Structure formats: C-alpha cells, structure tokens
Structure 1
Amino acid sequence: MRIVGLTGGIASGKSTVSSMFKYNQIPVVDADVIARDVLKKGTGGYKRVVAAFGPDILQDDGQVDRLKLGRIVFSDASKRELLNRLLAPYISSGIFLEILKFWIKGHKVIVLDIPLLFEAKMDKWTKPIVVVWVDPETQLRRLMERDNSTEDDARNRINAQMSLDFKRTRADLLIDNTGSLEDLQGRFREVLLQVKRPMTWTEFWLSRDGALSALLGVIIGVLASRKILSTL
C-alpha cells in the first residue's frame, strides 16, 4: 500500500490539491476532519481540551468555538503545544482507523492530508511526500482575503506553523501554487503520474492483496510440509 503524504501551509492551496486527488478516485484521509471530530461534544478530546482551556471556549450549544480556540493557540506557542499534546493521541488513532478502512477495502494508494505532517513525525510513514508551496507574499494575501483578517492576525497564523520554505526542502514532489488554478491543475497532473506509478514490491506486500498472498503462501507451505511429514 502506498501512503502519500500531502502537506502545505495555511492558504497554500493544499485543500484544493486534496480535492483533486479525490476527483481522480484516490481516497484521502483528512487529518483536519478527524481533528474536528475528536473535538465534538462528549468525546475524550473535547473533555481534555475543555478541562485545560476552560468553559470560555464553548459556544452556547456546548460545542467548542473553534475560532475562539484558534485565536488563543495561534497567539501563544505554549498553549498551541498544549492543545497539540492533548489531541495528538485521538487524532493519530483516528488516522490509523481511516487508513485501516481503506486497506481492508483493497485500495493500493491513499493520500494522507495532514498540515502537521513533519511536526507530528508522520512523514516517516508516508512516501512520496507532496508539498504544496506558495511564496510568503502570496500566502499572506490569500489568507487575508479568504478569512477577511488583519495582517497581524494572518501573520500570527502563518508564523504558528512550520515554514513552507522548510517543508519545501523535505518534499519528494513539489507543487508550486503561486500561479493560477490552471497552472495548479497542470502541476497536479504531473504529480498524479508519479503517485499512480506501479507499486514497489514493498508497497505490494503492505497492501491487502499482498498480505493475503503472503498468508496464502504460508498456508500452502504448512499444508505441504504436513503432507511430506505424513509420508515419512
């Protein structure tokens, strides 16, 4: 099984690229969706976060106000680290379960869409690593336009993440999204060819079909051995 790591920065266009993979029938495990799920009212993640940050982060319906929580953690590195530490076990478990579901269904290639790929040390489980990159000026402008935020707020959110220039150095495949949507689509098609290349033997043995083949081989070997021993 090939697990493709997809990452980028805020307002880099990573979500657009993720949608392109889905459009091309490649399943995507979205860490942001999982992160939202583990913060739903009543979950273990919800209880730990409310205990740590207090009831002021809640909406009238008792759900976590993600915008309010975001403002707190993006302006304070220690609180951001605390939040990541509280939720990491739940998010990691959710990611594993989603990957397992696709493995059981027999998918040979999946995409793990995760903003904190390197920070969470999950890059060692993915190959190739696709990084969606934009230049800093474009990233800032797009974020301000998208969220209707001030320059200071936008810079705080960008600076709270690992820099795109550093992520770029760790990429196996780079998608430069500084240009137009048409440019992005062209670069994505080039990356898609690499992602869909034939599997290596290691990737095959890690797939469901490979595991079943190995299991069948073991069963045949055991039966053959028993037959030989019975004739001695």
Structure 2
Amino acid sequence: MKFRIAVTGGVAQGKSTVVETLASMGWRTVSADEVARQVASASEVRQEIAQTLALPLDYDRAVLRERVAEDPEARLSLNSILHFRTVRALYATDADVVEVPLLFEAGLLTLADEVWTVWCSPENQLRRLTQRLGDAAQARQWMAAQLPSPVKVALSDWDVNTDQPRESVAALVIARAKRAATP
C-alpha cells in the first residue's frame, strides 16, 4: 500500500501542526517516529540495538538519542536495525498520511503519492528546538545532523512555511489537501 501524502521536515519545524490539520479533516494519519518507538521497544530489537551499539540492555531513550546524535556510525547502525522494520509496520496501517521526519535521509521518496515538506526559518527552528530541549548547543547539533530544508523543499511536491500563524498554516494545508483528494 502506498500512502497518499508523506509529511516531512526538520525537527521543530511544524510537522505536527500539518498532520493535526489533516487529521481534523478526516485523513487517517500515522507517525513514523511513533511506529519506530514501538518497533524499538520490542525485546529482540532492544537486544540487537544494545549489542550493536555497546549499550546496556536497560538503556533508556535519552542515552540512545545522545549516542546517535554524537556518532554518525551509531546513527547508521541504528537506522539499519530500525528502518526496514518500521517501514513494514507503517505499511501494515490503514493510514492515508504518514509523517516521516527523515523521509529523504532514509531514501523513502516513493513511500507516498505526494511529499509535503514543512519548514521554517533556521532562527525559528532553533528557538523552538531550544525551548523543547532546554539546550541551544544540543539543538544546533540536532539541526546540523539533518538535511537542510531547502534541499527537502526542492525534492517535494509541495511545501509550507510555518513561520506564520498556526491558523494561516492550517488554511494552506486545508486548501492543498482538498486539491490532493478527499480522504
């Protein structure tokens, strides 16, 4: 099954706002991050992650997140463990819309009929992410680890800038969703 719309974008750029708007219109949505968390919580997957990344079996997500943020090799190893399982679990859903933050980085361009990129200015992204994490240096590190927004926009079927009020973003999403098709 192919999804109708894949919503992507960098961390703290407003993907949730777009997905929530689509859900309010009746579109069935699924988050790749949520599915990946479920996949990663399975005991055999936790064991494989711990063994591959030399972590204690009782590692917590914060330790794992820090490890992959600091070590590109660890990030690649984690992705090789989780991506196939996560995509398989996504396809098992009945969703119309899939939210995939790392769509391009994971090479999932054909996951949906349309790819929508959500973006904002680097200044707003840094502000939002610093508020979320409480650490500007860590926020910069996370931002640097992702593909730049202009590249994602260039590869997308549609993009929306979330530097504007939430209501304006929602209006743009509603208009585009009506053109994309009804759920």
Asked whether the two chains share a fold, i.e. TM above 0.5, the reply is yes
* C-alpha spacing 1:177/1:87, structure 2 compared with 1 (3 Å): same
Higher alpha-carbon Rg: 1
Task: List alignment gaps of at least 5 residues for structure 1.
Answer: 103-108, 199-232
The answer as to whether partners of 1:45 and 1:90 remain within 8 angstroms in 2 is: no
Q: How far is the alpha carbon of 1:2 from its aligned partner?
A: 5.4
The answer as to whether partners of 1:8 and 1:14 remain within 8 angstroms in 2 is: yes
Letter of the 1:157 counterpart: W
User: Which of the pair has the greater relative contact order for Cα pairs under 8 Å at 6+ separation?
Assistant: 2
Q: How far is the alpha carbon of 1:125 from its aligned partner?
A: 3.1
Give the percent of matched residue pairs that are identical in Structure 1 and Structure 2: 27
Cα distance between partner residues in 1 of 2:96 and 2:132: 28
Q: How far is the alpha carbon of 1:126 from its aligned partner?
A: 1.4
Cα distance between partner residues in 1 of 2:111 and 2:17: 23
Report the equivalent of 2:36. 35
- Structure 1 position 25 matched with structure 2 position 26: yes
- Structure 1 position 172 matched with structure 2 position 157: yes
- Structure 1 position 152 matched with structure 2 position 153: no
Cα distance between partner residues in 2 of 1:49 and 1:65: 11
Report the equivalent of 1:184. 169
Partner SS, residue 109 of structure 2: helix
Report the equivalent of 1:8. 9
TM-score, normalising length from structure 2? 0.91
Partner SS, residue 178 of structure 2: helix
Q: How far is the alpha carbon of 1:13 from its aligned partner?
A: 0.6
- Structure 1 position 73 matched with structure 2 position 68: yes
Deviations 1:199-221 (A, max 9, x none): xxxxxxxxxxxxxxxxxxxxxxx
Report the equivalent of 1:131. 117
Q: How far is the alpha carbon of 1:29 from its aligned partner?
A: 2.2
TM-score, normalising length from structure 1? 0.73
Q: How far is the alpha carbon of 1:71 from its aligned partner?
A: 0.9
Q: Which has the higher helix share?
A: 1
Q: Output the aligned Cα RMSD.
A: 1.9
